Each structure stands twice: as structure tokens, then as C-alpha cells.
């Protein structure tokens, strides 16, 4: 496997595909969507209509499913841009 490094930017983190699948499944459950319509590039707020209430439901769903614990002080808007960015955040906390 080769990584392309863009000057001035660190390489993108490697995310466990099982974590991506869990995030997609949790989003589908919370938002009552077909998981097949949720891709790694899907934008959570713009494409799926995620809101503050569904964010809380989603985090609880992921904590229960993955046995992880998310610190609200760690969460930033950038973590909720796409399925991939949320998966990266979740992956960091599942791996600890």
C-alpha cells in the first residue's frame, strides 16, 4: 500500500472498515434511512439532515454498539462533516 502525501498535510488516518460500517448502520438506524444510500462521502448535515438531537442519538447508538465512550469536550463540528470524518473520530476512540 502506498500513501500519497500532500505537501504540508499529514497522511489521512487509516480507518477500520468495521468502524465505517458501524457508523453507516447507526446513521441509518437513527435517521431511518436505507444504509445503502449512506456512503463514506455522505455529508451528515447537508445530505442527511442530521441535527443536534440526532447527533446525541447517534453517539449513544455508537457507544452502545462499539463499547466506546465519547467525550463531548473532544467533539468538534469538523468531526460531523461526512461519514468518513465521523468514522475517523470514532476509530480513534475505539482504538484506545
- With 80 as the cut, is the pLDDT of residue 11 above it? no
Residue 44 phi, psi dihedral angles, 5° rounding: -70, -45
Query: 24 in a domain, yes or no?
Result: yes
**Residue range(s) defining the domain that contains residue 64:** 20-69
The residue-averaged pLDDT of 33-43 equals: 97
Please state, rounded to an integer, the average pLDDT across all residues of the chain.
Answer: 89
Query: 12 in a domain, yes or no?
Result: no
The residue-averaged pLDDT of 10-21 equals: 82
Inter-residue contact 29 to 64 (CB < 8 Å): no
- With 90 as the cut, is the pLDDT of residue 72 above it? no
Q: How far apart are CA 51 and CA 36, in angstroms?
A: 21
The residue-averaged pLDDT of 60-80 equals: 92
Q: How many domains does the chain have?
A: 1
Q: Is pTM beyond 0.85 here?
A: no
Query: 55 in a domain, yes or no?
Result: yes
- With 70 as the cut, is the pLDDT of residue 36 above it? yes
Query: 46 in a domain, yes or no?
Result: yes
Query: 8 in a domain, yes or no?
Result: no
Query: 54 in a domain, yes or no?
Result: yes
Q: Can you read off the three cell numbers belonging to residue 67? A: 463499547
Query: 35 in a domain, yes or no?
Result: yes
In sequence order, what DSSP letters do the residues of 9-72 get, joined into one string? Answer: SPPPPP--HHHHHHHHHHHHHHHT--GGG--TT-BTTTTT---HHHHHHHHHHHHHHH-----T
Amino acid at each position: 500500500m502506498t500513501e500519497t502525501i500532500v505537501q504540508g498535510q499529514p497522511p489521512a488516518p487509516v480507518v477500520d472498515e468495521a468502524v465505517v460500517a458501524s457508523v453507516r448502520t447507526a446513521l441509518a438506524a437513527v435517521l431511518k434511512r436505507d444504509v445503502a444510500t449512506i456512503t463514506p462521502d455522505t455529508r451528515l448535515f447537508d445530505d442527511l439532515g442530521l441535527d443536534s438531537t440526532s447527533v446525541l442519538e447517534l453517539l449513544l447508538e455508537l457507544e452502545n454498539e462499539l463499547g466506546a465512550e465519547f467525550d463531548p469536550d473532544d467533539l468538534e463540528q469538523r468531526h460531523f462533516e461526512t461519514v468518513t470524518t465521523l468514522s475517523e473520530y470514532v476509530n480513534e476512540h475505539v482504538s484506545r
